[in-house]
Structure 1
Amino acid sequence: MSEQGCIKCGSTDADQKDVSMTGAGLSKMFDVQNNQFTVVFCKNCGYSEFYNKNASKAGNIFDFFFGG
């Protein structure tokens, strides 16, 4: 099975990084970054998908990005 690539431009050149973000209410007021995500992004066009690190148990997050 061949990789499908980015859904916007078809490129198979992607990378990932982990980010933290604030939530709503008190966590936003006190800048508590308690939401953690893995972002998979296309290096060609910048299209990005966020995956909740606490909910995702996938072995290879790139499979989700490329539709595998």
Structure 2
Amino acid sequence: MSNYKCPKCGNISYETDTVAMTGGGLSKIFDVQNKKFTTVTCTKCKYTEFFKAETSMLENIFDFFTD
């Protein structure tokens, strides 16, 4: 993302991270983190954008047994 420019303040410096969240239904009941997102955060104003990432069935099963 060398062309990144914050849509709020125009800053060109950013940080990335990954976040996992539960969905609805049974995944919420069993606290299975089956939704994964990559985040891009402006280092100046902290505006954050989320981009959906793929999760594998193996990651979901591992998450279920480690909670």
TM-score by length of 2: 0.71
Distance 1:23 1:35 in 2: 6
* Higher radius of gyration, 1 or 2: 2
Distance 2:4 2:50 in 1: 19
Counterpart position of 2:65:
none
Give secondary structure in 2 for the equivalent of 1:12: coil
State the Cα RMSD in Å: 1.2
After superposing on structure 2, the runs of 4+ consecutive aligned residues of structure 1 that deviate more than 2 Å are none
- The correspondence of residues 2-41 of structure 1 with structure 2, limited to 5 A, is 3=3, 5-41=5-41
Q: How many correspondences in the alignment? A: 52
- What runs of 5+ residues in structure 2 fail to find an aligned partner? 55-67
